C-alpha cells in the first residue's frame, strides 16, 4: 500500500454557543480552513485534488445537502473537484481523515482534503410532516445535540439517554468521583491557558473576519476556555442531570462552532505539488458498545487499533483524547492503564477547555497531535474519541 501523509492542517477558532461565530453560516465556516489551505500552499495544482471528505454531525440546516461539497465550492476549489460529507456524529472529522488516508493507501486517490465543521449555534429547529390528514400532533425538535424523531423500538431496546446521562452512567459504572472529574476539568483549562500563553495555537488557527454594521472584528482565539477556572468554582456547580449529579457544565465539553481542514497526499503527490509531509497516517479503527455508556467507546477502539497496527500504547508519545466529559475521559484512561494526569495526554488542553464542535473535533485532535509531535520530537500520536449512540474511534499518526 501507499503511504498517506498529512502535509498541512488549519482550523478556525472555536466559538461559544451563541458567541462570536454565531453570525457565520455553517457552509461559510466550513469553507474558511479549506481556503486557508489553498492560500498556504500556492505550489499545489488544486485541479488535481481527487476528493474532499468533511465530517458534520447535524446536516439539518445550512450544513444540508452535502456541506463538504458546498464548502469546497465556496472556498474556491475547481468545480470538478468532488466532495463528500461523512456523519459518524462526534467522530465525523476523524473518520473523514481516516477515509481519505484509506483512499490514498489503496491508490485510488493521491491528493485529498479532509476535515469537518459544526455550527451548533445555528442548528435549526425542525418539524416532521403530519402523518395523517388534519393532524394536530405537530412537534418541534431541536437539532443542536442528541436524539430527535425517536424510534420507539430504539427507545425500548437501548434507551435514549441524553449525552450527560451517558456520562453519569459511566461515572457510576466505573467509579469516577465528582472530585476527580473536576480536577480533570481544571487541568484541561490550565493546560490550554499555558499553551495559549506560549503561542501554541497561533499557527494552527486561521482568523475569522466578522463584518458588522459599524466595525470589522477579527476572531483569532478560541472563545470557550475559562482561564480563571478554579476547583472552588467548579465544585459549586450543580449537576446537569440532577442537582446531586457528578456531571456539570464545568467538567463537560460545550456546544461550539468551528471548522478544521487537513491536506493529505501520497508520497508521489507531495513531491509533485511541492508539499512537505509532516505525519504518516498509520491506521484507524472504530468500535461499538452500549449506547448508554457511549463515552467509554475509545477504550475498545484503541485496543482494536493497537492490535491492527501491531503497536503498543506505551509507544504513543502523544495521546489526544476528546474530552466529551471528564467522567468518560477518566474511565477510558484508567481502563487503558494511563494516569489521570498523564502529561502526554491532551498536553495543551482538551475539549472541556477548547470546546467541541462535533463534526470538527476529530480533525482538530489529529492536527493538534501532529503539531505536538513536531514540537516535542515524538514519533507516534494516538487520537481517540467517543461517539453518540455507542461507538468509539481511534487513529494513529507517525511524525515524518
Residue 386 is a catalytic residue: yes
Cell of residue 35, nine digits: 481556503
Question: At which residue does the C-alpha cell 483569532 appear?
Answer: 220
The catalytic residue among 56, 90, 260, 383 is 90
Note the pLDDT tens digit of each residue in 63-76: 999 999 999 999 99
Distance CA 169, CA 151 (A): 22
Partnered with residue 283 across adjacent β-strands are: 396
Return the minimum-mean-pLDDT range out of 124-138, 196-210, 321-335, 359-373.
Answer: 124-138
Mean predicted confidence (pLDDT) in 266-283: 98
214: confidence class by pLDDT, cuts 50, 70, 90: confident
The catalytic residue among 110, 196, 273, 356 is 356
Distance CA 293, CA 51 (A): 35
Q: Are strands 208-211 and 216-219 parallel, antiparallel or unpaired?
A: antiparallel
Cβ pair 326, 251 in contact under 8 A: yes
Which of 326, 327, 318, 331 is closest to 365 using CA atoms? 318
Provide the whole-model pTM: 0.96
Residue 251 pLDDT exceeds 90: yes
Distance CA 389, CA 145 (A): 12
Any residues with CB less than 8 A from the CB of 214 and at least 6 apart, and which? none
Residue 367 pLDDT exceeds 90: yes
Domain 5-122+253-399 coded CATH 3.40.50.150? no
Residue 298 pLDDT exceeds 90: yes
Tell me the average pLDDT of the chain.
97
264: confidence class by pLDDT, cuts 50, 70, 90: very high
Residue 344 is a catalytic residue: no
Distance CA 18, CA 120 (A): 9
Report the b/e string of 101-137 with b at 16+ CB within 10 A: bbbbbeeebbbbbbbbbbbbbbbbeeeeeeeeeeeee
Residue 197 pLDDT exceeds 90: yes
Q: Which residue has the higher pLDDT, 214 or 80?
A: 80
Model pLDDT, residue 247: 98
Model pLDDT, residue 213: 83
Cβ pair 351, 322 in contact under 8 A: yes
281: confidence class by pLDDT, cuts 50, 70, 90: very high
Residue 356 is a catalytic residue: yes
Model pLDDT, residue 228: 87
How buried is 285 (Cβ within 10 angstroms: 0-12 exposed, 13-18 middle, 19+ buried)?
buried
Return the minimum-mean-pLDDT range out of 78-82, 220-224, 227-231.
Answer: 227-231
The catalytic residue among 7, 260, 383, 386 is 386
Distances (CA, A) of 96 to 30, 51, 88, 187: 14, 11, 9, 29
137: confidence class by pLDDT, cuts 50, 70, 90: confident
Note the pLDDT tens digit of each residue in 306-316: 999 999 999 99
Q: Which residue has the higher pLDDT, 341 or 214?
A: 341
Mean predicted confidence (pLDDT) in 207-235: 93
Return the minimum-mean-pLDDT range out of 137-141, 162-166, 319-323, 381-385.
Answer: 137-141
Amino acid at each position: 500500500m501507499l503511504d498517506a501523509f498529512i502535509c498541512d492542517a488549519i482550523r478556525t477558532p472555536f466559538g461559544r454557543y451563541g458567541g462570536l461565530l454565531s453570525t457565520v453560516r455553517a457552509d461559510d465556516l466550513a469553507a474558511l480552513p479549506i481556503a486557508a489551505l489553498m492560500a498556504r500552499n500556492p505550489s499545489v495544482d488544486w485541479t488535481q485534488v481527487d476528493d474532499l471528505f468533511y465530517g458534520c454531525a447535524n446536516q439539518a440546516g445550512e450544513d444540508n445537502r452535502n456541506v463538504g461539497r458546498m464548502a469546497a465550492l465556496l472556498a474556491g476549489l475547481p468545480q470538478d473537484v468532488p466532495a463528500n460529507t461523512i456523519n459518524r456524529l462526534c467522530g465525523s472529522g476523524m473518520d473523514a481523515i481516516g477515509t481519505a488516508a484509506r483512499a490514498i493507501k489503496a491508490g485510488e486517490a493521491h491528493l485529498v482534503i479532509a476535515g469537518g465543521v459544526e455550527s451548533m449555534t445555528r442548528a435549526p429547529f425542525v418539524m416532521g410532516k403530519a402523518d395523517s390528514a388534519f393532524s394536530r400532533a405537530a412537534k418541534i425538535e431541536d437539532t443542536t445535540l442528541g436524539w430527535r424523531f425517536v424510534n420507539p423500538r430504539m427507545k425500548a431496546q437501548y434507551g435514549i439517554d441524553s449525552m450527560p446521562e451517558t456520562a453519569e452512567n459511566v461515572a457510576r459504572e466505573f467509579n469516577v468521583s465528582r472530585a476527580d472529574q473536576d480536577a480533570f476539568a481544571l487541568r484541561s483549562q490550565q493546560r490550554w491557558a499555558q499553551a495559549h500563553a506560549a503561542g501554541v495555537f497561533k499557527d494552527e488557527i486561521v482568523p475569522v473576519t466578522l463584518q458588522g454594521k459599524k466595525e470589522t472584528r477579527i476572531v483569532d482565539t478560541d472563545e470557550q476556555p475559562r482561564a480563571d477556572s478554579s476547583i472552588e468554582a467548579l465544585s459549586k456547580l450543580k449537576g446537569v442531570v440532577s442537582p446531586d449529579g457528578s456531571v456539570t457544565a464545568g467538567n463537560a465539553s460545550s456546544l461550539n462552532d468551528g471548522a478544521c481542514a487537513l491536506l493529505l497526499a501520497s508520497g508521489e503527490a507531495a513531491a509533485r505539488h511541492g508539499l512537505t509531509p509532516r505525519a504518516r497516517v498509520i491506521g484507524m479503527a472504530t468500535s461499538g458498545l452500549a449506547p448508554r455508556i457511549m463515552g467509554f467507546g475509545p477504550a475498545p477502539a484503541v485496543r482494536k487499533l493497537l492490535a491492527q497496527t501491531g503497536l503498543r500504547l506505551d509507544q504513543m508519545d502523544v495521546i489526544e483524547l476528546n474530552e466529551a466529559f471528564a467522567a468518560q475521559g477518566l474511565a477510558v484512561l484508567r481502563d487503558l492503564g494511563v494516569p489521570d494526569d498523564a502529561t502526554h495526554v491532551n498536553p495543551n488542553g482538551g475539549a472541556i477547555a477548547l470546546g467541541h464542535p462535533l463534526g470538527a473535533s476529530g480533525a482538530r485532535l489529529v492536527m493538534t497531535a501532529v503539531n505536538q509531535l513536531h514540537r516535542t520530537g515524538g514519533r507516534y500520536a494516538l487520537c481517540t474519541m467517543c461517539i453518540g449512540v455507542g461507538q468509539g474511534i481511534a487513529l494513529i499518526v507517525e511524525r515524518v
